[in-house]
Structure 1
Amino acid sequence: MAIATLIFGMFAIADYQILGLTRAYYLLVAMRIVVVGLCLFLALIMLLRGDVSHEVWLHAMPLWVLATGIILIVPLRPDSLSTQVMAVIVATIGFYLLIPNLLTVVAFASLYLSLGFLAAAALFADAPPGALLRLALLLIMANGVGFCALLRLEKLQRRQFSLLHDERDQNRQLLKEIAHRELLEEQLRRVAERDSLTGLNSRRHFMKLADALLQVSREDQTPFSLFMIDVDHFKRINDTWGHSQGDWVLTRIAEICTQALRPTDVIGRFGGEEFVVALPDTDAEQAVIVAERLRRKVAALPLEEAMSELQLSVTIGIAVARGDEVSLQNVIARADRALYAGKREGRDQVVACAEIGAEKRAEDSLK
């Protein structure tokens, strides 16, 4: 609209060449200044207000102001009727195709321009009936071409918008499907990584995490310890008080272990009533201290009234990885041997793998 009105104002140069500094010229210049000023003001309002798609009057007003200015040229310069016909046709096509607007708004503004121009030609330019008829046919043709072109353009725009809307719906559905799949994958991952009863790491996931810690400890040449924890007389707990009480015991022991360990330590349920703990940057002496703390906390666990006669305890086997050891299975096997040595010796104790080696050497010497 700003460009169209500036072009309209530019023709004041042609007015000066034809009329010179006359009263008619000053009236034309004043009219052009008013039209250009009003249209630019309305364009500025549109620019500042942003979304004005629902304000039809704001779309229609510049067209009517510009159409009025074109019509007023005829009474101010009646001798230029022949040249103004082309200007009206161009303006009509411009209304339809060059200035984005609603079809109804453009149609009414163009109809006003055509009828007003015909009336001005008849009243002020003394155009003969034949000339008026030819002028009317030209304006009908311009309006018909512009109307059909804009109608087709709007249909294409509606179809394009519909396709875009469908594409957005499909994209939203796709995003929902992706989010749903990611949620399912996350749930499956948690099921695979977590023990459903205790919430600890599953055996497979623990092996993955602990093996990574072992390799880091080997590369950094830092100590690495591992616990095997077994609940003493767990079968008797299940047989006497039921599996629900046994599950409660496992859950409480898992909570105690989780609270007593460091964030860098990794704990998992190894199977049944056995738990396994990997402690990076922990030597044998430190591992024994941690294991004893765990054993005492389990022994002090308050039990339900129905299980008051039970003395809950755990046996813990400890193994420390050698400096060049790369197999987690070997460390677990040594901790497991220490665990079963402690169970043979009466349970409710902490046994380090080094103690087993010393006992074995003593037995060999006796033999």
Structure 2
Amino acid sequence: MSEYPVALIIACTLVTLSYMALKIQHMRLFEHYEQIATPILTGAACILLMQQPLPAEFGVVDLRYLPIVMAGLRYGLTTALLSTLLPVAYSGWTADLWFFQALQNLVVPAVLSSLFHQSSYKKGSRIPYSSGLKISFLLLVTQAVIHAALHPDLNIRESAPLVFMFLVSAVCLSVLIGMCNDENEKWMMQRKLELQASQDLLTGLPNLRSFLDIAGRTLAHRRMAVFMIDIDNFKRYNDRWGHLQGDQLLREAGGLLRSSLHAQDYIARYGGEEFVLMSTETDPERLQAYAERLIARVSSHPFPHAGETPVTISMGMSIAEETGLDLQSLINEADQALYTSKNTGKNRCTAFVRKSYTSAEQQQQNAY
């Protein structure tokens, strides 16, 4: 009976290791190298559990397979099989019959657990506890068959250790699934709060703070263009149809613009009825055609009350001539071009034109 507490100690060690791994997995650094780090952490946990092997009457398998099961359940077959590489290599170095043990202790659990994997688990969905029970039962059946083949004269009483290990396995998996679900909920809540901090609550678009961060980092490494976009006659629309309809117009116009962008472009709400757009296109003719397409898309959209109060947009654009320029200056130039569009008929796009000075004019400008 002294072997039973050993199994419980191993189970406690497993839970502790898994808790540490969950904390590490949600670190920013880990998220960038998740496909590499997950198999390494899982394999290392298996090796640590292998340092305290169970007696033969408990079956050839011990709890070293549970980290592999969690990897297969959460990430799928590929990650689970990659997670077996380190412990398989360690078995080949330290154990006899290592191939048989690796197949039974690691590869089979990896395959069985991956049968219950769903892609939504990796994105934070709750893993059902029933999956852990089913996997534990399948592993019990597998181990019972193997144990019976190795010990043909085994009686029912001597199979008690296998039943005990099934119970320990089921409890451990339930605890690990509960820990994983709880950590995922915390992680998703944190991401939700981070998203809200960078999102305009009315339109659902990124806010100006988010835009300045993304566009600033982009401008540091490549040329780009900035558009300022304004909904024409918004005050008139708002006054006539009410603030609720005005808010709905902002939401609908923002969604329409976002759905019409090039894949690599980025739009945010600037404030009021204004939006700001970053485009990685820098050819003036293509940018003008791009703007005209957005303008036509808005003017032809069936907004509420558009038949009585037409909805159009005006745009101003500025193109960065080189990388590393001041983003705020680029936005100010696009804003100046926007005012030109507003003052020359609206429902159009104007490009900002930088003045070229002669040497005398430049010296005069510098003097000021």
- Cα distance, 1:248–1:47 mapped onto 2, change above 3 Å: closer
Contact 1:225–1:284 at 8 Å: present in 2 too?
no
Please report how far the alpha carbon of residue 308 of structure 1 lies from its aligned counterpart in structure 2 after TM superposition: 2.1
Displaced runs of 4 or more, over 3 A:
57-61, 160-173
| 1:13-162 correspondence runs (5 A) | 49-50=145-146, 59-60=154-155
Provide the secondary structure at the position in 2 that maps to 1:227: strand
Contact 1:214–1:280 at 8 Å: present in 2 too?
no
Contact 2:281–2:287 at 8 Å: present in 1 too?
no
Q: Residues 20-77 of structure 1: CA distance to partner in whole angstroms, max 9, x if unpaired?
A: xxxxxxxxxxxxxxxxxxxxxxxxxx9882366xxxx96338x9xxxxxxxxxxxxxx
Supply the distance in 1 between the matched residues of 2:296 and 2:183 (Cα, whole angstroms).
Answer: 48
TM-score where L is the length of structure 2 = 0.50
Please report how far the alpha carbon of residue 225 of structure 1 lies from its aligned counterpart in structure 2 after TM superposition: 1.0
Partner of 1:255: 255
Contact 1:195–1:201 at 8 Å: present in 2 too?
yes
Partner of 2:182: 177
- Cα distance, 1:163–1:324 mapped onto 2, change above 3 Å: closer
- Cα distance, 1:260–1:295 mapped onto 2, change above 3 Å: same
**2:191 aligned residue (186, 192, 200):** 186
Partner of 2:311: 312
Partner of 2:218: 213
One-letter amino acid of the counterpart of residue 271, structure 2: G
Q: Residues 68-125 of structure 1: CA distance to partner in whole angstroms, max 9, x if unpaired?
A: xxxxxxxxxxxxxxxxxxxxxxxxxxxxxxxx565xxxxxxxxxxxxxxxxxxxxxxx
Partner of 2:268: 268
Partner of 1:132: none
Supply the distance in 1 between the matched residues of 2:145 and 2:247 (Cα, whole angstroms).
Answer: 67
Contact 2:219–2:323 at 8 Å: present in 1 too?
no
Contact 1:224–1:283 at 8 Å: present in 2 too?
no
Supply the distance in 1 between the matched residues of 2:317 and 2:275 (Cα, whole angstroms).
Answer: 12
Supply the distance in 2 between the matched residues of 1:325 and 1:59 (Cα, whole angstroms).
Answer: 76
Supply the distance in 2 between the matched residues of 1:165 and 1:303 (Cα, whole angstroms).
Answer: 57
- Cα distance, 1:49–1:195 mapped onto 2, change above 3 Å: same
CA-based RMSD: 3.7
Supply the distance in 1 between the matched residues of 2:144 and 2:196 (Cα, whole angstroms).
Answer: 56
Q: Residues 262-296 of structure 1: CA distance to partner in whole angstroms, max 9, x if unpaired?
A: 10111111112111111113222222221122112
Q: Tell me if 1:289 matches 2:294.
A: no
Looking at CA atoms only, which structure, 1 or 2, has the larger radius of gyration? 1
Partner of 1:328: 327
Contact 2:220–2:323 at 8 Å: present in 1 too?
no
Q: Tell me if 1:201 matches 2:296.
A: no
Partner of 1:23: none
Contact 1:232–1:315 at 8 Å: present in 2 too?
yes
- Cα distance, 1:295–1:167 mapped onto 2, change above 3 Å: same
Please report how far the alpha carbon of residue 212 of structure 1 lies from its aligned counterpart in structure 2 after TM superposition: 2.3
Q: Which has the higher helix share?
A: 1
Percent identity over the alignment is 29
Supply the distance in 1 between the matched residues of 2:172 and 2:214 (Cα, whole angstroms).
Answer: 43
TM-score where L is the length of structure 1 = 0.50
Partner of 2:234: 234
- Cα distance, 1:357–1:345 mapped onto 2, change above 3 Å: farther
Q: Tell me if 1:299 matches 2:299.
A: yes
One-letter amino acid of the counterpart of residue 191, structure 1: Q
Supply the distance in 2 between the matched residues of 1:320 and 1:101 (Cα, whole angstroms).
Answer: 76
Please report how far the alpha carbon of residue 353 of structure 1 lies from its aligned counterpart in structure 2 after TM superposition: 0.9
| Structure 2, gaps ≥5 residues long | 1-55, 57-141
Contact 1:241–1:307 at 8 Å: present in 2 too?
no
Partner of 1:69: none
Q: Residues 308-328 of structure 1: CA distance to partner in whole angstroms, max 9, x if unpaired?
A: 211211110111112254321
Please report how far the alpha carbon of residue 242 of structure 1 lies from its aligned counterpart in structure 2 after TM superposition: 1.2
